[in-house]
Structure 1
Amino acid sequence: MSAVGTPTLASIHRYPLKSARGERLAESSVEPWGLEGDRRWMVVDPDGLAVTAREVHPLLLLRPEITAAGLRIEAPGCDPLEVATPDPARQVPVRLWRSELTAAHAGEADAWLNRVLGRPVRLVHLDDPTRRPVSAEYAAPDDRVSLADGYPLLVTTRASLDALNDQVLERSGGAHDPLPMERFRPNVVVDGVGAWAEDDWRRVRIGGVDFRAVKGCARCVITTLDPDTAEGGKEPIASLARIRRWDGATWFGTNLVPDLPDGRPVTIREGDEVEVLEAVEPGAGPIRPVR
């Protein structure tokens, strides 16, 4: 179990290709739109609509790695793909939820991805993240985000995962294995705070970066997929529905927007101190839409 003590940055995670496997980093630069290299690549269908692991579960099994030339992707049973960062002039229209923007098409990857995923898709790269604003409902007009679902970073805490796993084990009578944090695809994981403390945060400092906590994270079917097999189940949604259900959704983690006064990246590292600069009284649950 996680102990309450000095809040620290326990781990950092980046996801180079949206919906694919992530990688743990000892340190990372924080840019205005998220961690350096986080979710700058995305798979889309022939019409430019984002393809995610919600509907194409095998995406979770792809293992991307950022290289000097672009991106390397490994898939079970296949030769790896090496793809160069595409020319920014090769823009195509793409849509991710309510965001409509353009991204550069890496056409040489399409045939490989078609075989691996079993459907016609294209690979695109977001060369300029300033094209995509964050939802104005929760953020400032000049906030930007890469190809994450909605916000630059997601923070979770070890204590909250421990509390959830207590419920998972209780519900299963001890038969279910504890869920790993990978299910929730966070960017930063904090240790040394109590369970669900992140619900109450409004401003937090990690290392040398100040963040606004702008919205709780409503969880989807991806969390029910085993990250090692892409096979589905009922957890954690079943247990979250017992203890973390508000407004018809289940919640785990909090979305963050970095405040970088001059826009220059700042590096954070595992073990950095985490300081809560502003918080509300506990008990209200995650930040969520006003009804």
Structure 2
Amino acid sequence: MKDIAQLSGINVYPVKSTSGIAQSRAWVGLEGISFDRRFVVTDLAGRMVTARKYPKMVTIKSTLLSDGIVLQAPGMTRLHLSVNDFQRDEFECKIWSDRFLAYTTTEQANAWFSQAIGSDVQLLYCGEESNRYREKLDTRVSFADGYPLLVISQGSLDELNRRASSPQSMAQFRTNLVIDGVDAFAEDSWEKIAIGEVEFRVGKPCQRCVLTSVNPNTGEKMAAQEPTVTLSKFRANEKGAIFFGMNLIALNEGVIELGDKLKILETRTPTIYPDTHN
């Protein structure tokens, strides 16, 4: 018998593609959790730069301050950014196919990230309210890939690790919310859920990319092409795309806290993936 279904992890990623911060309590707005993906690194044309191309980005760490953020990278002097110092010039940003106006930060930040990544880049800020409105979701989204939040159950990771050739961590999947006390891939069947003060609509399954194979502590590739090799054997569709976790859209604003019970308000028929694992 499973334990009571509850929230066991909350994570935010202040700068897209960099290290996350675990939280015990968080404010969920309609754009997602406060401070999540509020910054993005782009090239000089405004196209996002991520750890898919520069895997060492995952080793850049953020610490939140009342007036901004402190950034640290291996072998570099830490960078203290105050929101009050931002230039805030409008700059068109491109996240996948979405184009929208973001805001410049500082020349110091641009230089710091350019050195950390080894390419000419800039740091952009989405502002107090993102200008990126996604019509099909009917909500604003920060610099996240497509949806405001992502949820994965601990049971799903446990099942992956039961099959995988080496242990994989939840940090590789960069999820916002972790749910304990449910069966593996129970999240596939959720349509609408409530956690703490917030109700969520469950969106599409999250298609996974090469970034899951980057060790979040070192920025190096995981051994034996994990977890892609294992996920492709039991979480892939007919086109070979692999899925792990479910995207979420908050229907209201409020506080969530570790230990909050999960309430399943509506369910759906889950996608069935062929299991070719031997």
Q: Please indicate the TM-score interval, normalised by the length of the shorter structure.
A: over 0.9
Gapped regions of structure 1 (runs ≥ 5): 286-291
Instruction: Spell out the pairing of 1:1-291 with structure 2 (5 A cutoff).
Output: 4-85=2-83, 87=86, 89-107=88-106, 108-134=108-134, 136=136, 139=137, 142-168=138-164, 172=165, 176=166, 178-233=167-222, 234-246=225-237, 247-260=239-252, 265-282=253-270, 284=272
Does structure 2 conserve the Cα–Cα contact (< 8 Å) formed by 1:134 and 1:143?
yes
Shift in alpha-carbon separation, 1:200–1:135, aligned structure 2, 3 A: farther
Shift in alpha-carbon separation, 1:40–1:164, aligned structure 2, 3 A: same
**2-side partners of 1:129 and 1:248: how far apart?**
36
Does structure 1 conserve the Cα–Cα contact (< 8 Å) formed by 2:232 and 2:240?
no
**2-side partners of 1:135 and 1:162: how far apart?**
35
Q: Identity of counterpart residues, as a percentage?
A: 35
Shift in alpha-carbon separation, 1:9–1:228, aligned structure 2, 3 A: same
Letter matched to residue 114 of structure 2: N
Letter matched to residue 244 of structure 2: F
Shift in alpha-carbon separation, 1:117–1:205, aligned structure 2, 3 A: same
The alignment's TM-score, normalised by the length of structure 2, stands at 0.92
Letter matched to residue 6 of structure 2: T
Does structure 1 conserve the Cα–Cα contact (< 8 Å) formed by 2:59 and 2:74?
yes
Q: Deviations over 1:145-188 (max 9, x none)?
A: 111111011000000000001110xxx3xxx2x11110101100
- 1:245 deviation in Å? 0.4
Moved over 6 A (4+): none
Does structure 2 conserve the Cα–Cα contact (< 8 Å) formed by 1:84 and 1:106?
no
Does structure 1 conserve the Cα–Cα contact (< 8 Å) formed by 2:101 and 2:132?
no
Letter matched to residue 111 of structure 1: A
Shift in alpha-carbon separation, 1:156–1:135, aligned structure 2, 3 A: farther
Q: Deviations over 1:56-89 (max 9, x none)?
A: 1111110012212212100011110111225474
The alignment's TM-score, normalised by the length of structure 1, stands at 0.88
Letter matched to residue 105 of structure 1: T
Gapped regions of structure 2 (runs ≥ 5): 274-278
- 1:131 deviation in Å? 1.3
**1-side partners of 2:268 and 2:41: how far apart?**
39
